[in-house]
Amino acid sequence: MLSLIFSAALAAQTTAPLAVVKEQLTIEFAPRTPEQMASFYEARGFPETMRDILKKQCFITVGITNTSQQKIWLNLADWKFSVNGQAIKREHREQWKQRWQAMDIPLRYQSTFRWTLIPETLDYLPGEHEGGNLVLPFSKGKITLDATFATGDNKQGEPIHIHYDQLYCAEDAQ
C-alpha cells in the first residue's frame, strides 16, 4: 500500500527523484515541501497544532528496492545524516509518538502519521520495494547520508554502504 502512495506521490512531482543506484539496491529520495506535507495531513483531518509542527520539519520520501538475490536489512539506526560535517539527529518514531501523546493528539492521527514514516527496521526480500517518509530537522544546507545495510538471511553477508551528499529540504515557492 505504501509503495502505491509513494509511486503516486512521485508521479505528482514536477522534478525527478534523487536516486542512488547500487548493484544490490536502488534508493529514491523525493524532498517534500512544507506545503505538500501540510496539505497531505490536512486532507486526513490532522489538527492545526500538529500540522504547524510538521510544517517546520524536513520531509523526504524514500523508496528502497532490493535488486539483489539476497535479503537486505534496513535499520535506520545505521543511517547517519549531516550538514556541512555537523551531525543532524533524526527523531525516532517513538519520540514522535511521545510528542503526540503529550499534546493529546487523537490516536487516529498518531497512527496515520506513524503509517507514513519509513519503518525503523525492515527486511527487503529480492525484488521487494517499500518506503515512507524520513523526518529530519529542517536545514538549508545539503544533507549528507551515510547508510549501511546488512545483507543475507542472518545479516552475515557483505554490508552495503551508501554515501550520498545531494539530499536537501524542499521549501515552498516564495
Question: 111-152: per-residue pLDDT in tens?
Answer: 999 999 999 999 999 999 999 999 999 999 999 999 999 999
Q: What would the grid cell of residue 15 be?
A: 522534478
User: Does pLDDT of 11 surpass 60?
Assistant: no
Question: 148-164: per-residue pLDDT in tens?
Answer: 999 999 999 999 999 99
Mean pLDDT of the 60-65 span: 97
Classify residue 132 by burial, with Cβ atoms within 10 Å: 0-12, 13-18, 19+.
buried
Res 104: pLDDT: 97
Strand pairing partners for 42? Answer: none
User: What contacts 71, CB < 8 A, 6 or more positions away?
Assistant: 123, 124, 125, 126, 151, 152, 153
Q: Domain boundaries in the chain?
A: 2-167
Residue type for position 33: T
Q: Which CATH architecture has domain 2-167?
A: Sandwich (2.60)
pTM: 0.88
User: Does pLDDT of 86 surpass 50?
Assistant: yes
Res 15: pLDDT: 54
User: Does pLDDT of 10 surpass 50?
Assistant: no
Res 16: pLDDT: 59
Say what percent of the chain tops pLDDT 90: 89
Burial 50-88 (b: 16+ CB within 10 A, else e): bbeebbebbbbbbbbbbbbeebbbbbbebbebbbeeeeb
pLDDT tier at 1 (50, 70, 90 boundaries)?
very low
Res 12: pLDDT: 44
Separation of alpha carbons 43 and 89, rounded Å: 28
Mean pLDDT of the 52-64 span: 97
User: Does pLDDT of 6 surpass 50?
Assistant: no
Question: 99-114: per-residue pLDDT in tens?
Answer: 999 999 999 999 999 9
Cα-trace Rg, the chain: 16
